């Protein structure tokens, strides 16, 4: 339909992003229900904001429910998309980063654990931490159901409750705010990979040894993965 570039499917819920206010989004929702029988609910996702990076959701069509179950990397997740950051389009990147991890691992901004559980599946010891209690509850639930057991810690990453160089590998997925967490992340890590939102793969205070462009955020802003020994 004119003005709609695509949608994200999470389990049986379709999410469309706001591009222009001139579209009849409810008609788009009804059309999606007709063309894809897997879809049971359609929501419009408005601007992502706040520390938890959760998008505001507006119900458009089908069931008015935000809990759904989906599978990624052979792991089943039941999540509430209104309470935690979700981006299923990053599945390939999660697979790649989980293969880079080795030794004792910290997933510093774990959310509901899409990366932590992949790393745990590789039989590595992983600590999953986040500020979002609801996200960590989902992670605990999904850990049990998949029989994968990361250590789950509720914390504010500005003050990490770990000793110097506790982790062989730390992954820090908070692209829009990564700068403010760097001192703590470097303190507890031997090797650190961060995601960073910027024009170029340069992050002050971080000695980049390798980088990769992950995706295009807007016309001249990109998400990069930057890694370094600490």
Ligand X SMILES: C[S@@+](CC[C@H](N)C(=O)[O-])C[C@H]1O[C@@H](n2cnc3c(N)ncnc32)[C@H](O)[C@@H]1O
Query: Which residues of this protein are in contact with ligand X, per CB under 6 A?
Result: 51-53, 85, 109-111, 114-115, 130-132, 135, 156-158, 173-174
Alpha carbon 86 to its chain's center: 5
The CA-atom distances, in angstroms, between 125 and each of 5, 27, 131, 168 are 40, 47, 20, 10
Kindly tell me which of 55 and 62 has the beta carbon lying closer to ligand X.
Answer: 55
Kindly give, in sequence order, each residue whose CB lies less than 8 Å from that of residue 191, ignoring residues fewer than 6 positions away.
168, 169, 170, 227, 228, 229, 230
Kindly tell me which of 130 and 191 has the beta carbon lying closer to ligand X.
Answer: 130
- At 176, phi and psi to the nearest 5? -80, -15
Residue pair 222/215 in contact (Cβ under 8 Å)? The answer is yes
The CB-of-110 to ligand X minimum distance in angstroms stands at: 6
The CB-of-53 to ligand X minimum distance in angstroms stands at: 5
Kindly tell me which of 32 and 90 has the beta carbon lying closer to ligand X.
Answer: 90
Kindly tell me which of 61 and 116 has the beta carbon lying closer to ligand X.
Answer: 116
The CB-of-137 to ligand X minimum distance in angstroms stands at: 12
How many helices (H) and strands (E) the chain has is answered by: 5, 13
The CB-of-152 to ligand X minimum distance in angstroms stands at: 12
Kindly tell me which of 38 and 158 has the beta carbon lying closer to ligand X.
Answer: 158
Closest C-alpha among 223, 216, 211, 220 to residue 178: 223
The CB-of-156 to ligand X minimum distance in angstroms stands at: 4
């Amino acid at each position: 339909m004119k003005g709609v570039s695509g949608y994200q499917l999470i389990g049986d819920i379709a999410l469309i992003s706001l591009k222009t206010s001139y579209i009849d989004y409810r008609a788009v929702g009804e059309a999606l229900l007709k063309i894809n029988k897997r879809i049971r609910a359609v929501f419009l996702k408005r601007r992502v904001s706040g520390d938890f990076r959760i998008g505001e959701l507006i119900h458009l069509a089908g069931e008015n429910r935000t809990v759904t179950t989906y599978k990624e990397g052979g792991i089943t997740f039941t999540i509430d998309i209104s309470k935690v950051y979700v981006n299923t389009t990053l599945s390939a990147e999660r697979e790649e980063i989980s293969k880079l991890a080795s030794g004792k691992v910290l997933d510093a901004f774990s959310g509901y654990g899409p990366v932590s559980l992949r790393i745990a599946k590789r039989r590595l010891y992983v600590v999953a931490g986040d500020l979002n209690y609801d996200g960590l509850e989902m992670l605990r639930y999904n850990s049990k159901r998949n029989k994968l057991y990361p250590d789950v810690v509720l914390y504010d990453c500005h003050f990490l409750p770990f000793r110097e160089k506790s982790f062989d590998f730390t992954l820090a997925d908070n692209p829009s705010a990564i700068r403010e967490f760097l001192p703590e992340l470097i303190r507890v890590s031997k090797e650190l990979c961060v995601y960073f939102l910027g024009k170029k793969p340069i992050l002050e205070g971080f000695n980049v040894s390798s980088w990769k462009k992950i995706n295009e955020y807007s016309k001249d802003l990109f998400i990069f993965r930057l890694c370094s020994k600490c």
